[in-house]
Chain A
Amino acid sequence: MNEFLRLDTLIHLALWLAIALIAMLIPLLPLYRPDDAWPQPEWFLALTFAWLLRRPAHLPYAAIGLVFLIQDLFLMRPPGLWAMLVMIGAEFLRRRQSMVREMNTLMEWGLVTGVLVAIWLANRLALVIVMTPRPPLDLSLVQLVGTVLTYPVVVVFVQSVLRIRKPATGELDELGRKL
């Protein structure tokens, strides 16, 4: 518990929440409507996964779930479904964090791609099962591919701008414990 309440963790969580707010506001702003443009990739989802695989302690599962639930509400998605799938995907990745630590970026990319495809499929399947109108298949596939392709870019952003890296071997936190 006190681990979570450390200042460093809280600052990073606040930073992530601010980015979440921006990610939600940008599409809401009445700037221009990309009519024929391809759907934009879900870069915020990619950023969340990249962040999670580097410092899972920053992003508690409840925060991830709630943020995506709020985004569901605002971005006119079926509420709850996408939030649940993202949270489960995030937990799957969190469980494998010690494994990912030893992987290179290419393999990590593969793993994340797997998770993204899996939650996309589950989302699609759930919408088919309950017979809700779905976004057009081609456009939503384009979006998925876009999200997968932005992942490396997001990783570079997270590592170099936000300075969130995988813990090096033997790195200690402020309390002197092994990361």
Chain B
Amino acid sequence: MPSDRQNDTDFVRPVRRLLIGVLALVFFAIFVVWRIDSPRVERFRSAVVDAVVPNMDWAMAPVTRVARMIEDFRSYARIYEQNQELRRELQQMRAWREAALQLEQRNAQLLDMAQVRLDPQLTHVTGVVMADAGSPFRQSVLINVGARDGIVDGWAVMDGLGLAGRIAGVGQRSSRVILLSDSNSRVPVIVQPSGQRALVSGDNSAFPLLDFVEAPGELRPGDRIVSASDGGVFPPGLLVGEMMQDADGRLRVRLAADYGRLDFLRVLRSRPAEVIAETGELLRPVSDSGVPLDPRTGLPYGQLEPEVSETVTDTVAPVPALPVPGAPDE
């Protein structure tokens, strides 16, 4: 056992060295196993976190509460400025509300016209944030829903407004959400007005980078960024944030999700989109032997009458540009 005395008995030292060596080897073995079979060890890690963190509420709750109270109290100091600011914002919001209402009506009309059916499978589970990642290099949070609630790895997580991250690691009662700002996070997105595809890649800062943009010249700061379904990672069309340019001229994303107060997060249940694996068959019928068939005749190509296209154009009735009221019907 450890001792700082000089009068150690002779046999203690070598035995101690041996034990330290063994323990170091054990640690190294854990590391190597983690490297070789990462999912298993990560599952073990999430099981440990799962067992401990929900039981630490007694320690977490009071400290969090006090810290929030202090934060709220600080805001009293600036109450007058805030009031002015809020009034001003309210004025702006009224204008926006009017615009939004009009747009909503218009949108409803258009959706009705197009008979769009919104994805009914996009339901969500809401969880409460329990703990932070704890490391300066990891931007993730723990939420209190897990495999028990049907959470699956990879599902998208939103706060009230925008995409916050995705599930990475599920325990029985808790799961870990990797935030978009984590340096391991890469999310395919579409930049809205120009429709360009890009990748939001976290770099540990509050404003993740926008990578792999095809034509950065077409983007303007303030462009809306929504998620894309590339790679089947996310449901498409979730608001991610808006584009901005930092002092170096690099494109970054101001996230819509408010990472300052992550209290409740909703996990979107997403089903993988259907994948079209084959190229031709969807459009073109194929016979049993694999010969492509003409969809109109049901015969293999080559036995096609050459004058089909001409007959089609002839049979189309001429449509009058405007129906004239009172005109004689044909």
**B301 within 8 Å of A (CB atoms):** no
**B131 within 8 Å of A (CB atoms):** yes
Interface centre among A36, A74, A77 (most CB of B within 10 A): A74
Could you say which residues of chain A place their CB within 8 Å of the CB of B139?
33
Q: Are A35 and B181 in contact (CB under 8 A)?
A: yes
Interface size of A as a range: 35 or more
Q: Mark B133-146, 1 if CB is under 8 A from A, else 0.
A: 11111111100000
Contact of A91 among B20, B64, B135 (CB under 8 A): B20
Binds A, one of B21-29, B152-160, B273-281: B21-29
Contact of A30 among B32, B52, B141, B184 (CB under 8 A): B141
Q: Mark A12-50, 1 if CB is under 8 A from B, else 0.
A: 000000000000110111111111101110000000000
Q: Mark A40-76, 1 if CB is under 8 A from B, else 0.
A: 1000000000000001110111100100010001111
Contact of B138 among A36, A76, A94, A178 (CB under 8 A): A76
Could you say which residues of chain B place their CB within 8 Å of the CB of A40?
136
Could you say which residues of chain B place their CB within 8 Å of the CB of A60?
1-2
**Chain A nearest CB: distance from B327 CB in Å?**
70
Known contacts A61-B23, A79-B41, A39 near B137 by CB under 8 Å: yes
Q: Mark B1-30, 1 if CB is under 8 A from A, else 0.
A: 111111100000000100110011011111
Q: Are B23 and A87 in contact (CB under 8 A)?
A: yes
**A83 within 8 Å of B (CB atoms):** yes
Q: Are B4 and A33 in contact (CB under 8 A)?
A: no
Q: Are B28 and A30 in contact (CB under 8 A)?
A: no
**Chain A nearest CB: distance from B94 CB in Å?**
32
Interface of A is mostly: loop
CA distance A83 to B34 in the complex (A): 14
CA distance A60 to B12 in the complex (A): 14
Q: Are A143 and B136 in contact (CB under 8 A)?
A: yes
Q: Are B24 and A31 in contact (CB under 8 A)?
A: no
**Chain B nearest CB: distance from A48 CB in Å?**
13
Q: Are B31 and A78 in contact (CB under 8 A)?
A: yes
Binds B, one of A110-118, A129-137, A148-156: A129-137
**Chain B nearest CB: distance from A150 CB in Å?**
14
Interface centre among A32, A98, A136 (most CB of B within 10 A): A32
Could you say which residues of chain B place their CB within 8 Å of the CB of A179?
4-5
Interface centre among A33, A139, A143 (most CB of B within 10 A): A33
Q: Are B59 and A81 in contact (CB under 8 A)?
A: no
Q: Are A29 and B2 in contact (CB under 8 A)?
A: no
**B250 within 8 Å of A (CB atoms):** no
Q: Are A84 and B28 in contact (CB under 8 A)?
A: yes
Q: Are A24 and B2 in contact (CB under 8 A)?
A: no
**A163 within 8 Å of B (CB atoms):** no
Could you say which residues of chain A place their CB within 8 Å of the CB of B183?
133, 135-136
Q: Are B27 and A177 in contact (CB under 8 A)?
A: no
Contact of A31 among B3, B35, B64, B140 (CB under 8 A): B64
Interface centre among A29, A32, A39, A56 (most CB of B within 10 A): A29
Please provide the chain B residues from 130 to 189 with a CB less than 8 Å away from any CB of chain A in the complex.
130-141, 181, 183-184
Q: Are A80 and B132 in contact (CB under 8 A)?
A: no
Q: Are B27 and A81 in contact (CB under 8 A)?
A: yes
**A1 within 8 Å of B (CB atoms):** yes
Could you say which residues of chain B place their CB within 8 Å of the CB of A77?
135
16 extra A-B contacts, CB within 8 A, seeds A40-B136, A83-B27: A4-B2, A25-B59, A27-B135, A29-B132, A30-B132, A31-B64, A33-B259, A35-B259, A55-B4, A60-B1, A60-B2, A65-B23, A76-B135, A87-B20, A94-B4, A136-B183
By Cβ-Cβ distance, the 10 closest A-B pairs, closest first, are: A39-B136, A80-B30, A84-B27, A27-B134, A80-B31, A35-B206, A135-B137, A4-B1, A80-B27, A81-B31
